[in-house]
């Protein structure tokens, strides 16, 4: 699932190709918007907000999309064959004279007045990669539910926007904190959140995410998607489980030795 840094990178690419240009074709292939015609409008900007994408147009409307698990925006030079999946998975097509931007498998495609974008992104906490980033506000929001697990708090986009299960697992390993540790028991919380921003910043320019500093295949993560494999620090087996509110359980990975549940978090490396 794409996290904040991947969305940031996709939006930067889309912005570079679309911003300032007039659409020659603009189709939204979802039932509520099937009759919407965007040809002729100019794209003002393409902006990431946490894991959301906002395409702002000069007629006062914003296209809001979200990848969730499977979505992707692909771009093609006009005339090139599209290769992001079968046609029935296409949810949006935005074309200029030079470029086709094609949105595949987007579970969220909606138009909102630009002045009312808060309807769709107003609930989000400070954006780790946004101009509004505010460490103190993110900490305030996380700490407002002290008994909740830090693993759940980090994924809640109302606390801070941009993290998913990949960064959650890696961040908690690096900090030596078990994912089920209550927020109130995490001593290094400011450091943890600052580190989250550093990790996203470091990875936002890359096609492949790495938290270990090693970009080679199979060496990019400490614990994420490595269940049963030896911990890179202590050699013990990495564990995994799903937990979270009913219906929103998400998978986590951790090293029981480096991240004991009693641990309140050390200074980290």
Residues serving a catalytic function are 2-3, 51, 250
- CB environment 58-73: b (16+ within 10 A), e (fewer): eeebbbbbbbeeebbb
93 C-beta neighbours (distance < 10 Å), count: 17
- CB nearer to Zn ion: pick between 38 and 174: 174
Q: Which residue's CB is nearer to Zn ion, number 153 or number 258? A: 258
Q: Using CA atoms, how far apart are residues 203 and 95, in angstroms rounded to an integer?
A: 29
Task: State the nearest-atom distance from the C-beta of 261 to Zn ion, in Å.
Answer: 14
Complex with Zn ion: residue 154 or 231, whichever CB lies closer = 231
- CA nearest 248: which of 152, 142, 106? 152
Decide whether 162 or 265 has the Cβ nearer to Zn ion.
265
255 binds Zn ion (CB under 5 A): yes
Which of the ranges 154-162, 185-193, 201-209, 254-262 carries the binding residues for Zn ion, by CB under 5 A? 254-262
Query: Tokens representing 7?
Result: 């969305």
Q: Which residue is listed with tokens 């809640």?
A: 156
Binding to Zn ion by residue 258, rule CB under 5 A?
Answer: yes
Among positions 16, 70, 257, 261, the unique one binding Zn ion when judged by CB under 5 A: 257
The closest residue (CB) to Zn ion is: 231
Residue 129 token pair = 């990669």
Task: Give the nearest distance from C-beta 238 to Zn ion in angstroms.
Answer: 8
> For Zn ion, which is the closer residue by CB, 160 or 231?
231
- Smallest distance, Zn ion to C-beta of residue 232, A: 8
Report the interhelical angle of 165-175 vs 189-203 (nearest 10°).
130
**Interaction of residue 261 with Zn ion, rule CB under 5 A:** no
- By CB under 5 A, the count of residues binding Zn ion is 6
Q: How long, in residues, is the chain?
A: 269
Of the candidate spans 3-11, 50-58, 151-159, 223-231, the one that interacts with Zn ion by CB under 5 A turns out to be 223-231
Q: Could you count the other beta carbons within 10 Å of the beta carbon of residue 33? A: 16
Q: How far is CA 133 from CA 67, 92, 127, 250, in A?
A: 22, 30, 5, 25
Q: Decide: 193 and 153 in contact? Cβ < 8 Å.
A: no
Lay out the site mask for Zn ion across 228-247 (x = CB under 5 A, - = otherwise): ---x-xx-------------
Interface ranges with Zn ion (CB under 5 A): 231, 233-234, 255, 257-258
């Amino acid at each position: 699932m794409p996290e904040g840094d991947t969305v940031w990178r996709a939006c930067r690419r889309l912005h570079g190709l679309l911003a300032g240009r007039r659409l020659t074709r603009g189709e939204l292939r979802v039932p509520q918007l099937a009759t919407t015609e965007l040809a002729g409008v100019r794209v003002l900007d393409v902006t990431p907000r946490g894991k959301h994408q906002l395409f702002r147009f000069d007629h006062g409307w914003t296209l809001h999309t979200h990848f969730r698990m499977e979505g992707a925006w692909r771009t093609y030079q006009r005339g090139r064959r599209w290769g992001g999946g079968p046609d029935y998975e296409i949810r949006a097509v935005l074309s200029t004279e030079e470029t086709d931007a094609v949105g595949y498998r987007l579970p969220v495609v909606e138009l909102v007045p630009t002045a009312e974008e808060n309807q769709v992104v107003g609930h989000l906490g400070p954006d780790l990669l946004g101009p509004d980033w505010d460490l103190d506000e993110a900490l305030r929001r996380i700490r407002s539910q002290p008994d909740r697990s830090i693993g759940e708090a980090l994924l809640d986009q109302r606390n801070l926007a941009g993290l998913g299960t990949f960064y959650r697992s890696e961040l908690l390993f690096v900090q030596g904190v078990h994912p089920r540790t209550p927020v109130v028991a995490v001593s290094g919380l400011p450091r943890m959140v600052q580190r989250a921003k550093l990790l996203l910043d470091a990875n936002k320019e890359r096609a492949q995410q790495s938290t270990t500093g090693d970009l080679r295949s199979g060496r990019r993560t400490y614990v994420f998607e490595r269940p049963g494999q030896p911990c890179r620090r202590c050699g013990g087996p990495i564990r995994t489980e799903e937990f979270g509110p009913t219906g929103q359980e998400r998978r986590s990975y951790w090293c029981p030795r480096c991240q004991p549940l009693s641990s309140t978090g050390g200074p980290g490396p």
